[in-house]
Amino acid sequence: MSTIMGESPSTEMKDCSAYRPGLEGVVTGESALCLVDEGEAGLLYRGYPIRELAERSTFEEVAYLLLFGQLPNQKELTGFSTDLVENTVLPRLIEVFLGAVPSGAHPMDIVRTGVSVLGMADADAADHSHDANVRKSVRLLAQIPLIVAISYRLINDKPRIQPRGDLSFAENLLYLLTGRMGDDQARAMARVLDVSLILYAEHEFNASTFAARVTASTMTDLYSAITSAIGALKGPLHGGANEAVAEMFLDIGSRERAEAWVRRTLAKKQRVMGFGHRVLRKGDSRSVIIQRYAESLSRICGDHRWYEIATAVDHVMQHEKDLHPNLDFYTAVAYLLMEIPRVLYTPLFVCSRITGWCAHVIEQQDHNRLMRPRALYTGPPRREYVPLDRRT
C-alpha cells in the first residue's frame, strides 16, 4: 500500500471515528456570516437576530449586510440601491441565450446556464480580488431576477415587463413575476415577499453554499462557484421544497380533507413535505416568522384556504410525528396567495440566496485553502494483477 507524502498510512485512515455520512454534524470550515443555532442565539446574520432583520429591515439592507459586513447607513443604502437599479440590464449575449431557450427547459437550468453566460460577458470574471467579487455579486443580485422573469415570460408567450427604478427589490420582483404593483394588496404581498427573501438569504453551510465554497476554493471565478450552487439547489432534496408544499396544498384542496390526507400519506410511509430540517431538530425559527406574515396576508387577501390547510397539516404532523414545519412550509402559503407560478419558487430562492452564496465565495477566497477531504475506502483489499491471457 502506498504512503501519502512519506507518512505511514496506518493511523489516519484506520481511525474512522470522525466519519459521518453526508458530513452530518462535521465542521468543515469557519465563517463569520451566519450562526444556525437551536438554542438561545437562534439564527444570526453577522450577529443580528433574524427576527429583528425580518421585522425592521429590508432585503436590500440584509444583502448589504451579508456582502459588506455591516448594516448600511442611509447614504450607503441609497448608493447600494442605485447600483442595483443601474445593473438591471442584461448583456446582449444573455439576451441571445434567452431567446434561444427551448420551451421545455427547466427554469433552474435556465438560471444555471444564464449565470455561466453572464460570466462570459463580464470583464471582471477573471479578477478574484475582493472588490471585483463584490462588484460581480451586486451585478448578479440585480440580473438574476431578470433572467428568471424574462425566460418565463418568453417561454409562456407573455409580454415582457421592464423593471422599475421607483420600486424596491421585492416590489420589482413581484412586478416582474406577476405584473402586480401599486394597490394595497400588491404592497402587502411585496412586504411578505421581502421578508421571505430575508429569511432565505443565508443559512450557513447548506448543500448549495458548501458546493459554492468547494468550487471557490480552487480559485476559479465567482460565476463558476455560483453555477455549482445553483446546480446543487436544483436537486429535490435541497431546493424545490416550497414548490412541493404548494402542490401538496393544491392536492389536499380544503381544510376538511387535510387530516385524512396526512394520515393516509403517513400510513403509506410517504413523506409530508415541509417538515423537518437536517440541522434544526426542534423547529425552524424562520418558520414562525413567515407563518405570521402568511396569516396576515391571508386576511388582507380575504383568502384563508391555504393557511387553514397548512395549519391543519401542521397540527397533525406535530401530534403524530413530533415534526415542526421548516421555512418552506408557510412560505408556500404566501407564494400561493401572490399567485407566483409554482415552477418559479426555486428560482425565486436563487434571487435571495445569491447574497449568501456570493458572501461565502468572497469569504472563502479572501482566506482560501483548497478543500480536499478524504474518503473512507470500502473496496477490496490489495489484489495481485493477473495478465489478460491468464484471466478466466
Catalytic residues: 277, 328
Q: How far apart are CA 338 and CA 374, in angstroms?
A: 46
3-state secondary structure of 251: helix
Q: How distant, in Å, are the alpha carbons of 88, 89, 125, 169 from that of 83?
A: 9, 11, 18, 12
Closest CA to 38 of 276, 322, 281: 281
Q: How distant, in Å, are the alpha carbons of 44, 115, 116, 214, 224 from that of 125?
A: 31, 11, 10, 18, 9
β-pairing, 34-36 vs 43-45, is antiparallel
Q: How far apart are CA 241 and CA 98, in angstroms?
A: 26
CB distance 361 to 319 below 8 Å:
no
| Planar angle of CA 29, 34, 36, nearest 5 degrees | 90
Closest CA to 100 of 151, 162, 160: 151
Closest CA to 169 of 288, 74, 62: 62
Beta strands in the chain (DSSP E): 34-36, 43-45, 48-49
Q: How far apart are CA 264 and CA 323, in angstroms?
A: 17
CB distance 377 to 155 below 8 Å:
no
Cell of 355: 447574497
| Sheet hosting strand 48-49, strand order edge to edge | 34-36, 43-45, 48-49
CB distance 316 to 322 below 8 Å:
no
Q: Name the maximum alpha-carbon separation found in the chain.
A: 82
Closest CA to 238 of 270, 205, 194: 205
